[in-house]
Amino acid sequence: MRITVRVAAVQAEPSWLRLSDGVEQVVELIRAAATQGARLIAFPEAFLPGYPWWRWIDTNQWNVEYSTRCRENSMTRDGVEMRAITGAAAAHDIHVVLGFGERQDRRIYMSQAVIDDSGELLSVRRKAGLNSVERKIFASGTPNLPAVHHTPIGKYGALSGQENQRPLLTRALRADEEQIHVAAWSGSPYADAAGPDSSTTVSRMYALEVGAFVLAPTAVVGESAFDGMGGAPRISSPTGRACIYAADGREVVTPLEEGEEGILYADLDLVADSADTQQCDSARAARDRKDRDPAPVRRGSRRVASGWQSGPDRWALPMSLGTYPGGTAAC
């Protein structure tokens, strides 16, 4: 059975280091995408509270101040901010992939949340392979393999930044027959810091390697990013461009102008697995029953499903060979 799924890739400037404003911005973008018929919306890397690109600038007198503000404006995975975002996903019947700074105690992680159209938080994965600058602000997550989520709109997964070019991770997603991939990028105030068009090149190569549609949301870095940044050099124009690629590497839709804020839409033609759809419908019905009925009181020891972790990364998959609910993990 073939289905057509409308997807959305965000190209927007974050509400830099203002968490409450950023949550309102995310909720509004979710609403706007759903109004246009999108079933999946993808946000850039660390969109909340904004990627800390200032660490690349050699003016350390304000680096400590802004690192502190970054921590204060990061959110927890189960806090009121996340509940507002999952509530928006449920209210507008849309899947959401969100990059955010996740605060736990005094540490912050570069995390990526996957939320389904019922508002269920399917996974939160912490980026493990940080570059030298990111490690000055963020803690490294547990090196887990990413999951492909089997849903009525297809099989989709997500990675952040340079993770999209790491064979161990990309092969795990390909092994589970990923159909839609979110390659989230942070943008840069000075064009493509890693090299000319590196993010678009990596996204295109991912599509060719895995054979999946690729949504590459990207943050815009504009003049407002420099407010209060002391002697940081200014940019001449906003930077950042989102793209959507087909499995053969071609652009599915014409991108927005670089630095222009908006949402990029595309209609993807997919082969839907009826077994996956039935499984998702059954899972949703079970969640609905659980919401209606009070949970029974259980006594005795609690059994943890094999292959899944407890603790901070309990929604992530261990980096090992084997199977997990919804697919096969392979190195």
Q: What is the CATH number of the domain that holds 212?
A: 3.60.110.10
295 belongs to a structural domain:
no
For the chain, the distance separating the N- and C-terminal CA atoms, rounded to the nearest angstrom, is 30
Interval 72-121: pLDDT, tens: 999 999 999 999 999 999 999 999 999 999 999 989 999 999 999 999 99
Predicted model pTM: 0.82
Boundaries of domain holding 86: 2-286+309-329
- What is the distance between the alpha carbons of residues 273 and 251, in angstroms, rounded to a whole number? 25
Fill in the DSSP letter of residue 220: -
- What is the distance between the alpha carbons of residues 115 and 123, in angstroms, rounded to a whole number? 7
Alpha helices in the chain (DSSP H): 19-35, 63-72, 80-92, 167-175, 198-210, 274-292
Interval 141-181: pLDDT, tens: 988 899 999 999 999 999 999 999 999 999 999 999 999 99
234 belongs to a structural domain:
yes
Radius of gyration of the chain from its Cα atoms, rounded to whole angstroms:
19
pLDDT, greater one: 268 or 275: 268
Kindly indicate the confidence band of residue 64, based on its pLDDT and cuts at 50, 70 and 90: confident
250 belongs to a structural domain:
yes
Count structural domains, the chain: 1
260 belongs to a structural domain:
yes
* Amino acid sitting at position 177: E
pLDDT of res. 19: 97
Q: Are strands 107-115 and 95-104 parallel, antiparallel or unpaired?
A: antiparallel
56 belongs to a structural domain:
yes
Write down how long the chain is.
Answer: 331
299 belongs to a structural domain:
no
Handedness of CA 248, 249, 254, 255 (dihedral sign): positive
Average pLDDT, the chain: 82
Give the bridge partners for 216, in sequence order: 243
